[in-house]
Structure 1
Amino acid sequence: MSTEAPQAAQAPSDELPQLTTFTAETEEDRIDGLRLVADSVAQQRQVASKILIFHPINLAAFFVVIAILVQRLYADTDSLYTIATTIGGLTMAFLVAVRWATARYLTLAEDINWEWLGEDRLIVVKWGEEVIGALVLGWADSDAAKKPRGGRRRRGKAVVRAWTVRLKYRGKGVGEGLLEEAVKIAGERGADGILFERDHANSQRVLPSIYNGFMNEREAKAEKKLEKVADEKGNFRQRRSSPTWGSR
């Protein structure tokens, strides 16, 4: 009869990958982080396309045109085939126009490269070996981030140049964890505060302003989230209430 004690059953949580947030140092992590930022810019094309397709003004105009076509083309049941093919062609033309109108997001995504990143800090979140979140942290005044010899670093504001989480991991606190890490690093570097850069990765709009309401609201929510984390977690001289908070 064996006298060995039975091994304790491995907890299910021990088999789960580790969630880690850190500054990307290896080339592989930096490439994955940059790719995730570029993907977030490209994904804006899908959002913009849906806005164009389902916007009330566009839908109303589309159905008015169809109604006019039906009224003018319908003569008898034999004309239904002509009407159907005409509507199909009109629909295809509309979708092609939507793709053309939003194509610039792909060009903007291609601009997310090593040159765009420069010397800024790339913070990533990894779930096991997969990069699921990325944040690019820069400085509003690049000279302020440099500590001169024998002197003290001039204080300035840290800026978030990109902030994204892989789609299937959104709404799980990953993005807030990235912001907390950025706020922590900004405080350690002596920043006065932290805010989104005006020209951040997802700030570009390729459609007329009438179609940008949803994206603008989403950006405003991100700014409020950063302000909340900065006020709660940050070690800054300035707070949102400061009259110079938004200045760069």
Structure 2
Amino acid sequence: MSTTESGAKPRIPSPSPRSALPELSTYTASSEDDRIDGLKLVADSVAQQRQTAAKMLVTHPLNLALFALAAAVLAKYIVGEWDHVYLLGTTLGGLVFSCLVAVRWATARYLVHAEAINWAWLGADQMVVVKWGEEIIGALVLGWADAEGGKKKGHAKRRRGKAVVRAWTVRGKYRGKGVGEGLLEEAVRVAGERGADGIVFGGDHANSKRVLPALYNGFLDKQEVRAEKALEKVADEKGNFRQRRSSPTWGSR
């Protein structure tokens, strides 16, 4: 006798845990809301460079050595009696505070650059996004450089020249999970469909700005090199351009 015939309720299979996960999708944003969210994500990535730059200033060996030297000089001239130890403590506290204010001031221009990421900056360029459920977690801005003059202009259905990546970023907690590579693959696909000769990072892309001397930009520069290599890899593997990067005449037209 079946369980139904004996009066027991039939067992309903429990839903798969995967069925509750939000959908991950990568596409060219057409709605204003998606484009705004993508712009905000790009602007946030520029603002976050301030934190990286500040960390470089605080932890750089040269700056640490200068701070230690200043502290030693203060200790030499202040410490003489027990009463002066307290004076040294307050003086060093003031020195630390002054250094932090200087770091904050030195890196403030990253916020100015972040504020410049707006509708005028985006222009007619395409915004490629990755959406996880209802949240935009990755954004890439795709522009165009004409073969003749190299200036960015609006898109046409098919035109000669190179596609230019003007911004590429992923929300922090989703990095290292393939989201960024998915953005690059979509950008390469779109560029190929529009007849591009190739695809490169723009020299003035959103995260290219540096507000500190070159001495402190090593980490940001390494990030940029890794991004360029990632784009080259995807373009070589997934691209459908008129000329491959390996060709000796790639980029000359």
* 8 Å contact kept, 1:120–1:138: yes
Matched, 1:15 2:20: yes
SS of the residue corresponding to residue 160 of structure 1 reads strand
User: Residues of 2 paired with 1:167 and 1:247: CA distance?
Assistant: 37
The match for 2:64 is 59
Distance 1:47-1:127 versus aligned 2 partners, 3 A rule:
same
1:246: Cα distance to partner? 5.3
SS of the residue corresponding to residue 17 of structure 1 reads coil
* 8 Å contact kept, 2:159–2:194: no
Aligned residue pairs, count: 243
1:103-135: per-residue Cα shift (whole Å, max 9, x none)?
A: 000000000000100000001101100000000
Gaps of 5+ in 2: 147-151
Matched, 1:47 2:59: no
User: Residues of 1 paired with 2:138 and 2:238: CA distance?
Assistant: 20
Mapping for residues 32-181 of structure 1, pairs under 5 Å: 32-141=37-146, 142=152, 145-146=155-156, 153-181=158-186
Structure 1 residue identity aligned to 2:244 = R
SS of the residue corresponding to residue 52 of structure 2 reads helix
Distance 1:144-1:111 versus aligned 2 partners, 3 A rule:
closer
User: Residues of 2 paired with 1:56 and 1:182: CA distance?
Assistant: 40
Matched, 1:219 2:224: yes
User: Residues of 2 paired with 1:246 and 1:90: CA distance?
Assistant: 52
Identity within the alignment, % = 67
CA RMSD of aligned residues (A): 1.7
1:210-246: per-residue Cα shift (whole Å, max 9, x none)?
A: 1111111110000000000000000012222234545
User: Residues of 1 paired with 2:26 and 2:170: CA distance?
Assistant: 12
The match for 1:205 is 210
Distance 1:107-1:143 versus aligned 2 partners, 3 A rule:
closer
SS of the residue corresponding to residue 204 of structure 1 reads coil
Structure 1 residue identity aligned to 2:145 = A
Distance 1:144-1:35 versus aligned 2 partners, 3 A rule:
closer
User: Residues of 2 paired with 1:100 and 1:156: CA distance?
Assistant: 41
* 8 Å contact kept, 2:124–2:155: no
* 8 Å contact kept, 1:144–1:156: no
| Segment of structure 1 superposing worse, 224-233 or 26-35 | 26-35
1:144: Cα distance to partner? 8.6
Structure 1 residue identity aligned to 2:116 = D
1:6: Cα distance to partner? 3.4
User: Residues of 1 paired with 2:25 and 2:178: CA distance?
Assistant: 13
* 8 Å contact kept, 1:144–1:154: no
* 8 Å contact kept, 1:122–1:134: yes
Distance 1:246-1:65 versus aligned 2 partners, 3 A rule:
farther
User: Residues of 1 paired with 2:198 and 2:219: CA distance?
Assistant: 27
User: Residues of 1 paired with 2:215 and 2:127: CA distance?
Assistant: 34
TM-score, length basis structure 2: 0.92
The match for 1:150 is none
SS of the residue corresponding to residue 142 of structure 2 reads strand
